[in-house]
Amino acid sequence: MKACDIVHWERGTKPRYGIGPCDDTMVEEGLGQFHKAAAILERELSDQPWLLGDMISFADFRMATFLPFNDTARLPIAEYPSIQRWSDRLNRIDAWRDPFKKLHAPDLPPLPI
């Protein structure tokens, strides 16, 4: 979701790499877009566990790409119980929870405090 990218860029990428200060106006714009998109996603997930019904699909993985970075972006996922449950289901999949485990990639630089 573009909205998630905006918020993560401002709250995570820019400070992590010293690109500049967080632009609160952009964060608010991103959060507004997030709430619009999240309302649609919430509705879709309200009566089924996965986006296309009872079985996980590529659509779930593609749509959920923002979730692993939410510790930094701090999008209000908890306000959307169906999205939260969907995220929890995805996080029970080892390869989703830690996709870079076997790559032995260096850790990202920490966010400044």
Q: Nearest-5° angle of CA 64, CA 8, CA 46?
A: 30
Is 58 among the domain residues?
Answer: yes
The CATH number of the domain holding residue 72 is: 1.20.1050.10
Is 84 among the domain residues?
Answer: yes
Is 23 among the domain residues?
Answer: yes
d(CA 3, CA 22): 15
In three-state secondary structure terms, 75 is coil
pLDDT one-digit tens code per residue, 15-62: 988 899 999 999 999 999 999 999 999 999 999 999 999 999 999 999
pLDDT one-digit tens code per residue, 78-91: 999 999 999 999 99
Query: pTM for this one?
Result: 0.85
What tokens does 56 get? 């996980």
> Residue 78: which domain range?
2-100
Is 82 among the domain residues?
Answer: yes
The structural domain count of the chain equals 1
What tokens does 5 get? 């990218």
- Note the Cα 69 to chain centre separation in Å: 5
d(CA 67, CA 97): 10
